[in-house]
Structure 1
């Protein structure tokens, strides 16, 4: 039987295990892939801790970790067109991606360009696509200045690069430890911590035209004070109510094949580097998840699954 990395109940790392599971069968609108790589994201451990997202079905344990994966098509479900057995694809998962086999939603799956590795493709459906959706939502004109909080993380690093590709000036807020990394992406770095808004004003004396928040909490509230037009405040780091009280909006995720195609093209063209800093085999998925959960990951962490 194929293996998968799961959590057996809500809780901490003690609930995790590498187990054997039944091979999934694709339903209508679904694709079964042999996984080659799976991205690791903060939402993975948050779901293990008990996070429930709108529309989530009742949880049946064990639950396989992972929201994004890349691999090779093994089967296609009823009503699926445009994909065939043997195609190299990537997308958002129905069943988790930390596994030898996973189901993808055909409507949020794209063909992997030959120039893009499985490892790189596996990072795109969550972090890069979230960054892309948010920047399109802001709709800033070429030459405008966007401030991105949490610029050293997976979504933030993608956001900085995409903003630069869209012709924007970027101010990136992150810890001092990530200064060189954020600057290497093309942003003006502002150290996070007490007094960061004053430092941001000094870095952008003409003001900022938009804020893309990836942190939430007090950072979101403080960032709102940098804007004269609060409609240009968006967040992927806070709940809708929190940002709406400040006059902004939550990022509206498109979750379409078209968005995945767009970010993959940017990778193929060299405009977007997923900055995968570490990879782990499936047998060490727990270590991969700890790297992200501890909050010290720079760029993206990926689990590679042997073919």
Structure 2
């Protein structure tokens, strides 16, 4: 039986275990993929604690497989699916987990993986890079404008800095002092995180910023808001909607479609977006991969690679 890394109830790392599961079967509109790589994201451990995405309803079935994004090879096609065939190399968002040897993907949020793109890099695009892309597009800043990105050293933040640069924006990235070189390597001005953030941002952007993409929430979000002349140019993927709406901003609106994935592939192939996979782990060490992200010290992306 295929293996999957799951959590058996809401709680901490003690709920995690590698188990054998039945091979899933694709329903209408779905494809079954033999997983080659799975991206690791903060939302994975947050869901283990009981967090639900905005708009999520219903109860979670346990054991629940971790993971939101994978790359792999199509093994079965569900009813009503066009454009994919058994043997296709693809990547996309998962229906119900991706830290596994097999995963189900909705065809509408699945894209073909070009041969030039590795499975490992492809697995980073559906969540982190796509969230970055959606947010930058939502801000809709003109070329030459200045964008502030908080939490700039992680998967979403590092992608946002690169996408901003590709669109001709000047980027200012907030991250820990230890990530200074990384942020600057992405073409952004680095601002250390910590108290009195707004003053340090003004030191590198005296005229303020034209847009802010927050990935942290709390006081960081509140300080970012003070740097804007137009509060509508404040968006967040790091705080609940009420927290940002009281400041005049909004949550990131996720497109969740194949067109965004195809656009990200073009950025990667053009050399404008590097997924920056900094560490990989095999499936039987998925817990280590997740704990690395949960500790908040990961630079770029962490990926689980599944043996063929």
TM-score tier after normalising by the smaller chain length: over 0.9
How far does residue 206 in structure 1 lie from its aligned partner after superposition? 2.2
* Contact kept? 1:113, 1:268, Cα under 8 Å: no
CA RMSD of aligned residues (A): 0.7
Quote the residue 2:2 is aligned against: 2
Residue 256 in structure 1 maps to residue 257 in structure 2: yes
In 2, Cα distance between equivalents of 1:236 and 1:139: 16
Quote the residue 2:133 is aligned against: 132
Q: Secondary structure at the match of 2:108?
A: strand
Matches within 5 A, 1:65-84: 65-84=66-85
Q: Once superposed, which parts of structure 1, at least 4 consecutive aligned residues long, lie more than 6 Å away?
A: none
In 1, Cα distance between equivalents of 2:56 and 2:276: 31
How far does residue 265 in structure 1 lie from its aligned partner after superposition? 1.1
In 1, Cα distance between equivalents of 2:223 and 2:207: 18
How far does residue 56 in structure 1 lie from its aligned partner after superposition? 3.8
Q: Deviations over 1:244-264 (max 9, x none)?
A: 100001000000000000001
* Contact kept? 2:197, 2:220, Cα under 8 Å: no
Quote the residue 1:200 is aligned against: 201
In 1, Cα distance between equivalents of 2:84 and 2:247: 43
In 2, Cα distance between equivalents of 1:210 and 1:51: 28
Quote the residue 2:100 is aligned against: 99
In 1, Cα distance between equivalents of 2:125 and 2:42: 14
Q: Secondary structure at the match of 1:70?
A: strand
Q: Deviations over 1:5-62 (max 9, x none)?
A: 0001111111010000000000001010000000000000000011123234421110
Q: Secondary structure at the match of 1:206?
A: coil
- Normalising to structure 1: TM-score of the pair? 0.99
Quote the residue 1:16 is aligned against: 16
In 1, Cα distance between equivalents of 2:171 and 2:60: 40
Equivalent pairs counted in the alignment come to 307
Q: 5+ unaligned residues in a row in structure 2: which ranges?
A: none
Q: 5+ unaligned residues in a row in structure 1: which ranges?
A: none
Quote the residue 2:222 is aligned against: 221
Question: CA 1:216–1:12 in structure 2 vs 1: closer, same or farther (change >3 Å)?
Answer: same
Q: Secondary structure at the match of 2:81?
A: coil
* Contact kept? 2:149, 2:174, Cα under 8 Å: yes
How far does residue 195 in structure 1 lie from its aligned partner after superposition? 1.7
In 1, Cα distance between equivalents of 2:57 and 2:282: 28
